[in-house]
Amino acid sequence: MNPAYRIILRPATPADRPFLTRVYAESRTDELAATNWTEDQKAAFCQSQFDAQDRHYREHYPTCEYLVIEQAGVPVGRLYRDRRPDEIRVVDIALLTTARGQGVGGDIMQDILNEAKSAGLQVCIHVEHTNPARRLYDRLGFRLVAHGEVYDLLAWK
């Protein structure tokens, strides 16, 4: 593999919080473009939503690993992964806009699937209906388990 492409996952630290907030904000760019908010209002909204999401994840996924995705030593995204006795739950995976479309997410997901296959586990993820990454999950063999109002639950076995 090209060293410039090298991907590593490392535990997130409190010092990563501004970066993780930025990743969250970039994942909301399209929907916020439809508002007439100022950049300051958008930033405040994203901060409050990131904080609420972080609290929710920490409450509902107490064994979750909070990881920063680095490419060639530069943070490019986040992976929140919860290993359970019967499954690996991808709680959240998100990349900065500049890192999308390069195979980073696909490579990470394939590594998770390989681990799950070796351990005889399924992999589950909630995906927003409008998320373009849904095509990737379909190609990887994920199937719809439950259709929700905003998110679908997908599973790979």
> Model confidence over 99-147: pLDDT tens digits?
998 999 999 999 999 999 999 999 999 999 888 899 999 999 999 999 9
User: Closest Cα partner for 53 from 89, 30, 25?
Assistant: 25
Cα–Cα distance for residue pair 6/77, rounded to 1 Å: 14
pLDDT of residue 153: 97
Cα–Cα distance for residue pair 154/142, rounded to 1 Å: 6
What backbone phi and psi angles, to 5 degrees, belong to 118? -60, -35
Q: pTM of whole model > 0.75?
A: yes
Q: Catalogue the long-range contacts made by 1-4 (C-beta closer than 8 Å, 24 or more residues apart).
A: 3/72, 4/72
Q: Residue 102: which CATH number?
A: 3.40.630.30
Cα–Cα distance for residue pair 122/114, rounded to 1 Å: 11
Confidence band (pLDDT; 50, 70, 90) for 31?
confident
Domain of 125 in residue numbering reads as 3-156
pLDDT of residue 60: 96
Q: How many domains does the chain have?
A: 1
Q: State the average pLDDT for the chain.
A: 94
Share of the chain above pLDDT 70, in %: 97
**pLDDT for 17 beyond 50:** yes
CB atoms within 10 A of CB 125: 22
